[in-house]
Amino acid sequence: MTKYIIRRMLISIPVLIGITLITFMAYNLAPGDPISAMIDPSLPMSGEMMQKLRQEYGLDQPLPVRYLIWLREAVKGNLGYSFASRRPVGQVILERVPATIQLTLAALLIALALGIPLGVYSALHQYSKLDYVLTFLAFFAVSVPAFFFALGAIYIFSLRLDLFPTHGMSTPGAEYPFWDHIYHLILPATVLGIERIAGFLRYTRSSVLEVLGQDFMTTARAKGLRNKTVFWTHGFRNSLLTLITIIALSIPGLFGGAFIIEWIFAWPGMGQLAIASINARDYPTLMGTALIGSILVLISSLLADILYAAADPRIRYS
Query: Which residues form the interface with other proteins (CB under 8 A)?
Result: 11, 14-15, 18-19, 22-23, 26-27, 29-30, 139-140, 142-148, 151-152, 154-155, 159, 166, 252-253, 255-257, 259-260, 263-264, 274-275, 278-279, 283, 286-287, 289-290, 293-294, 297-298, 301
Q: Which residues contact 268 (CB under 8 A, 6 or more apart)?
A: 96, 99, 168, 169, 262
Shortest CB 155 distance to other proteins, Å: 6
Q: Of the two residues 71 and 142, which places its CB atom closer to other proteins in the complex? A: 142
Q: Which helix (H) or strand (E) holds 41?
A: none
Shortest CB 203 distance to other proteins, Å: 14
- CA angle 115–257–114, rounded 5-degree value: 10
Shortest CB 232 distance to other proteins, Å: 30
**Cα separation of 116 and 232, whole Å?**
13
Q: Of the two residues 113 and 151, which places its CB atom closer to other proteins in the complex? A: 151
Shortest CB 300 distance to other proteins, Å: 10
Q: Of the two residues 24 and 231, which places its CB atom closer to other proteins in the complex? A: 24
Shortest CB 310 distance to other proteins, Å: 21
Q: Of the two residues 236 and 308, which places its CB atom closer to other proteins in the complex? A: 308
Please check whether residue 292 is in contact with residue 225, taking contact to mean a CB–CB distance below 8 angstroms.
no
Please check whether residue 208 is in contact with residue 166, taking contact to mean a CB–CB distance below 8 angstroms.
no
Paired with 168 in beta bridges are none
**Cα separation of 103 and 308, whole Å?**
24
Q: Of the two residues 201 and 220, which places its CB atom closer to other proteins in the complex? A: 201
Q: Which helix (H) or strand (E) holds 140?
A: helix 129-143
CA atoms within 13 A on the CB side of 297: 19
Q: Of the two residues 5 and 275, which places its CB atom closer to other proteins in the complex? A: 275
Shortest CB 42 distance to other proteins, Å: 26
Q: 191-220 burial string, b = 16+ CB within 10 Å, else e?
A: bbbbbbbbbbbbbbbebbeebbeeeebeeb
